[in-house]
């Protein structure tokens, strides 16, 4: 895997080093994990915003719920 250099402030670097040591992983692994966590968080916020927008239009929301119900698949847990 190729690498690159990223410039960050000293406080952020120190925090990343502490997180790495606590987890017993490399600094690179900590940065990868943080990047993945941020990506997932931003995705979740986008989804939440889109659902909120859907809910603001009652007709569209009811249509969405109808479609969701008609395409749901039993999970076999009942």
Structural domain contains residue 3: no
Domain that holds residue 28: 10-70
The answer on pLDDT for 75 being more than 80 is no
In tens, the pLDDT along 3-50 reads 899 999 999 999 999 999 999 999 999 999 999 999 999 999 999 999
In tens, the pLDDT along 48-61 reads 999 999 999 999 99
Six token digits for residue 29: 């692994």
Six token digits for residue 1: 């895997």
pTM: 0.74
Query: How many structural domains comprise the chain?
Result: 1
23 neighbors 30 (Cβ within 8 angstroms): yes
Structural domain contains residue 2: no
Structural domain contains residue 45: yes
Structural domain contains residue 77: no
What burial class does residue 71 get, using C-beta atoms within 10 Å of its C-beta: 0-12 exposed, 13-18 middle, 19+ buried? exposed
Structural domain contains residue 78: no
Structural domain contains residue 40: yes
Residues 66-74: what's their mean pLDDT? 88
Q: What pLDDT does residue 50 have?
A: 94
Structural domain contains residue 1: no
């Amino acid at each position: 895997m190729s690498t690159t250099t990223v410039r960050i402030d000293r406080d952020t670097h120190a925090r990343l080093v502490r997180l790495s040591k606590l987890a017993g992983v490399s600094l690179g692994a900590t940065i990868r994990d943080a990047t993945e966590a941020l990506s997932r968080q931003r995705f979740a916020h986008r989804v939440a915003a889109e659902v909120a927008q859907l809910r603001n239009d009652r007709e569209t929301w009811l249509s969405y719920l109808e479609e969701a119900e008609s395409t749901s698949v039993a999970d076999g847990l009942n």
